[in-house]
C-alpha cells in the first residue's frame, strides 16, 4: 500500500492544506505511517498528539493516530489545545520521543495541517520530503501501538507561572492586562492562566471557534488587533497581548494603543535577559529592525541575524546555544528558563516579568525605542520557477556593486538611508520585501531600489498578497 500527497501540502516547515481539496483523512493516516516508521527506526516508541480548535481537527487526529499505531508507535493524546501545550508535553516527559500538533495556525478556517517534533528537534525540510518519498513507496513499518490519554493542562500552566518567580508581587498586583485569544486553540489555557496571574486581566474571545467569528487570528496584521486596542483604551490597561490561531505567535499593544511588533518585543526580552546573562547570542530573522540588533549589542549581547522560519531559528538556537530568539512574525523562543520552543502564552507571561524586572512599564519601553519608518512585510506573486533564480540574480548584481549586503536569507542591503530586503518565501510562490529608514524620504529611496532590482530581473512589485 502507498499514498501520494497533493503537490502543495508538503512545505518547508510543516504540512498544510485545504480540507476536502488538498488534505484529508488518508493524508493524515499516511503522515502517521511515515512519521511513525521514521521514529521507530530511530529508536523512538511514543508520540504525543494534540490538535487545535478547527472543525476538521478531530477527524485528522483520528486518522493520524491510526497511522502512528499501525507503525507500532504508542500515542499519548493530549487533546485540544495550543501548539505550545503539545510542545510542552513532548519536551517535559521522558517517555515521549516525538510530537505532532494538528493545526492550521493562522490560516483561514478551511485549512489545516501538522507541526512536528522528532526526538526533541524540529521535523522539517528534508524530513518532510522523506515522509513524502516513503508514502509514495509504501515504505512503512508495521506494528500495533497503544493509545493513552494524557492530561498536561495544569502542569503546563504551572510551568509558565514559574517565569514570575522572585518578582515583587506588589509590582505584579498593580498590573492591568488585556488578552485576545481570537477564538483560537489557546483560549482555554489563557482562561486558566489569567485566573492565576497576579493583577487585573481582561479577556477577549477565549471560546474556541474554528470559524473565527470575531476576527482572523493573525496578530501580525494590525486590523486584527483593533478589538484588543479598543479594550486597552477603554479599560486604561497597561498593555494587551494577542495570539494566533494555535498560540505560538504573539502580538502586543502598549498602553497608548501602539502596536509592539515582533522585533520590538524581542528588544524588551533581550534587555531583561542581558541584565542577567551578558555576552549571550540572541537571534532574530532577516526581517527584523536594525534597532533590535543595535539594542542587543548595546546591552552586551551578541546579535545574530538568521533565516526566517521557526524550524530554522530553533535549529540555529541549538547550534549556537542561544537562550533567546525571535521573528518579525511573532514567534519568540525562550531557552534560558524554558524549552526553546515558541509559546505565545509563555511570551505573554515573560513580557510581564521583563517589564517588572527592568522597572519600566511596557509603554515606557515602547516609547524608548528609536522611531524607525518602515514598510509592512510586502509579499507579491512570482512564478515558482523564478523566485529563487530572481534572488540569485539580484544578489549577483549587488555583489558586483559596492553595496553592503547580507545574503543569509535572500538579499538584505544596508545603505546610508537604512536597509531593504528581498527574499523568496519557502512556503509560497511569493517574494517578500521589506525596508526600513529613519525618514520617509529615506524609505522612499529604499523602496525605489527594490523596484529597480525587480525590474532588472523582469519583475514588478505589483499588489501585495496575503499569507
- pTM, entire model: 0.94
Please report the domains of the chain, with CATH numbers, ordered by start residue: 15-151 (3.40.120.10), 156-367 (3.40.120.10), 373-456 (3.30.310.50)
Alpha helices in 14-56 (DSSP H): 25-41
Q: What is the pLDDT along the chain (467 residues), one digit of tens a residue?
A: 899 999 999 988 889 999 999 999 999 999 999 999 999 999 999 999 999 999 999 999 999 999 999 999 999 999 999 999 999 999 999 999 999 999 998 788 899 999 999 999 999 999 999 999 999 999 999 999 999 999 999 999 999 999 999 999 999 999 999 999 999 999 999 999 999 999 999 999 999 998 899 999 999 899 999 999 999 999 999 999 999 999 999 999 999 999 999 999 999 999 999 999 999 999 999 999 999 999 999 999 999 999 998 889 999 999 999 999 999 999 999 999 999 999 999 999 999 999 999 999 999 999 999 999 999 888 888 988 899 999 999 999 999 998 889 999 999 999 999 999 999 988 778 999 999 999 999 999 999 999 999 999 999 876 555 44
Give strand pairing partners of 79: 50
Enclosing H/E stretch for 413: strand 411-415
Q: Which of 37, 71, 105, 311 is catalytic?
A: 105
Give the number of other Cβ atoms within 10 Å of residue 153's Cβ: 17
* End-to-end Cα spacing for the chain: 35
- Distances, alpha carbon 355 to alpha carbons 174, 239, 378, 423, in Å: 12, 11, 31, 34
Q: How many helices (H) and strands (E) does the chain have?
A: 15, 22
Give strand pairing partners of 124: none
Round the CA-based radius of gyration of the chain to a whole number and report it: 22
Q: How far apart are CA 11 and CA 122, in angstroms?
A: 13
- Residue 385 annotated to the active site: no
Q: Enter the C-alpha cell of residue 66.
A: 491510526
Question: Which are the contacts of 159, defined by CB distance < 8 A and separation ≥ 6?
Answer: 88, 92
Q: How far apart are CA 103 and CA 317, in angstroms?
A: 24
Is residue 14 within 8 A of residue 5, CB to CB? The reply is no
Separation of CA 298 from chain center: 26
Query: Are β-strands 259-260 and 250-254 bridged in parallel, bridged antiparallel, or unpaired?
Result: antiparallel
Amino acid at each position: 500500500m502507498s499514498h501520494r500527497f497533493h503537490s502543495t501540502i508538503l512545505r518547508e516547515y510543516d504540512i498544510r492544506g485545504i480540507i476536502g481539496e488538498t488534505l484529508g483523512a488518508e493524508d493524515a493516516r499516511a503522515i502517521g505511517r511515515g512519521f511513525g516508521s521514521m521514529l521507530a527506526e530511530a529508536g523512538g516508541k511514543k508520540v504525543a498528539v494534540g490538535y487545535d480548535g478547527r472543525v476538521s481537527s478531530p477527524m485528522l487526529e483520528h486518522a493520524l493516530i491510526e497511522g502512528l499505531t499501525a507503525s507500532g508507535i504508542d500515542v499519548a493524546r493530549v487533546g485540544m489545545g495550543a501548539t505550545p501545550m503539545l510542545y510542552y508535553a513532548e519536551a517535559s516527559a521522558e517517555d515521549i520521543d516525538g510530537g505532532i500538533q494538528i493545526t492550521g495556525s493562522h490560516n483561514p478556517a478551511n485549512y489545516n495541517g501538522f507541526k512536528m517534533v522528532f526526538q526533541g528537534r524540529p521535523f522539517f525540510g528534508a524530513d518532510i520530503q522523506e515522509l513524502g518519498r516513503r508514502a509514495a513507496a509504501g515504505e512503512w513499518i508495521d506494528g500495533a501501538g497503544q493509545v493513552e490519554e494524557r492530561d498536561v493542562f495544569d502542569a503546563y500552566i504551572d510551568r509558565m507561572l514559574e517565569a514570575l518567580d522572585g518578582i515583587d508581587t506588589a509590582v505584579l498586583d498593580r498590573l492591568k492586562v488585556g488578552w485576545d485569544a481570537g477564538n483560537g486553540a489557546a483560549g482555554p489555557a489563557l482562561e486558566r492562566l489569567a485566573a492565576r496571574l497576579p493583577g487585573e486581566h481582561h479577556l477577549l474571545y477565549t471560546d474556541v471557534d474554528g470559524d473565527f467569528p470575531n476576527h482572523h487570528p493573525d496578530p501580525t496584521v494590525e486590523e486584527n488587533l483593533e478589538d484588543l486596542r479598543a479594550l486597552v483604551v477603554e479599560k486604561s490597561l497597561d498593555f494587551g497581548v494577542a495570539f494566533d490561531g494555535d498560540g505560538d505567535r504573539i502580538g502586543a499593544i502598549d498602553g497608548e494603543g501602539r502596536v509592539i511588533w515582533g522585533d520590538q518585543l524581542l528588544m524588551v526580552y533581550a534587555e531583561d535577559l542581558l541584565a542577567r546573562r551578558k555576552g549571550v547570542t540572541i537571534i532574530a530573522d532577516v526581517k527584523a529592525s536594525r534597532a533590535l540588533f543595535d539594542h542587543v549589542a548595546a546591552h552586551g549581547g551578541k546579535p545574530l541575524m538568521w533565516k526566517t522560519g521557526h524550524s530554522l531559528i530553533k535549529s540555529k538556537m541549538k547550534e549556537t546555544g542561544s537562550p533567546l530568539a525571535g521573528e518579525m512574525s511573532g514567534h519568540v523562543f525562550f531557552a534560558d528558563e524554558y524549552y526553546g520552543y515558541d509559546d505565545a502564552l509563555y511570551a505573554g507571561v515573560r513580557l510581564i516579568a521583563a517589564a517588572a524586572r527592568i522597572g519600566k512599564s511596557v509603554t515606557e519601553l515602547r516609547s524608548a525605542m528609536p522611531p524607525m519608518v518602515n514598510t509592512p512585510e510586502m509579499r507579491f506573486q512570482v512564478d515558482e520557477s523564478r523566485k529563487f533564480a530572481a534572488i540569485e540574480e539580484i544578489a549577483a548584481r549587488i555583489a558586483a556593486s559596492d553595496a553592503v549586503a547580507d545574503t543569509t536569507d535572500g538579499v538584505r542591503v544596508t545603505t546610508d538611508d537604512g536597509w531593504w530586503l528581498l527574499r523568496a518565501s519557502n512556503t509560497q510562490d511569493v517574494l517578500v520585501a521589506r525596508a526600513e529608514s529613519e525618514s520617509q524620504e529615506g524609505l522612499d529611496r529604499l523602496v525605489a531600489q527594490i523596484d529597480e532590482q525587480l525590474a532588472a530581473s523582469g519583475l514588478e512589485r505589483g499588489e501585495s498578497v496575503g499569507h
